[in-house]
Structure 1
Amino acid sequence: MEFEAPSIKTLAELREKLKPLNIPIYFNLPDPSVLEPFLVIGQTSSDTSKTVQTGLIIEDLSVQIDIFLPDDESRGGVERVRSEAIRRIGRNNRMASTVLKDDTIGREVYHIVINLTEIIF
């Protein structure tokens, strides 16, 4: 029997929730030749300190989702994508999002950053 880490299951579920956005989804930043829109489910960190307190394996998994949209997208369109992504992720008590313009991928784009923390068992 092969063990599947709960974090792998959580990331796969997150991908399924975001598929209806119809934006290509990656787990690593794609090659610079890939044009927007695209979404990256990446940058994860884990805290298992609650495991010591309870004896159960409890993990706080923090995930960063980066959505890159073309520079010529309207601000209203960007906000709609941000709101739809948050709605599709679902209720989460620890979620924050930011919209910014940046050129970290080699060209100026709208960059939506969503940070969330899930408690998984």
Structure 2
Amino acid sequence: MSRVVASKFKESRVYVTLNGYRNDHFNALVYVSDDYGTTWKQIAKDLPYESVNVIREDPTNENILYIGTDGGLYVSLNGGNSCMMWNKGLPYSIPVHDIAIQPRDNEIVLGTHGRSLYIAGLGEIQKAAK
């Protein structure tokens, strides 16, 4: 298990990301539970074949999810039904190991493997989701 993240929008919602490093299993595995972890649903099924390290919700829209994988940053505008790569300003195929959202400045901060930190505004993504 690479990350467990509680929702900021619904008390009963929790996200889990998994990686299979120990077993050479690299499927992208992201799950959500809306009932305190009693049942789980796989989301972000269209992510490429690579380990998932982290997931974060957008601070203003519960349907926007940011997902960090060994191949980069992905965004879902529809609660994980589909994802698209966010590569604007990022090197190709950069592992994203952590994501922090700064609500005051409406920015995303990415912690990467060997490529430092990246900071980007969230305004365009939030507008696209409306």
- On whether the aligned pair clears a TM of 0.5, the verdict is no
Q: Which has the larger radius of gyration?
A: 1
Higher strand residue share: 2
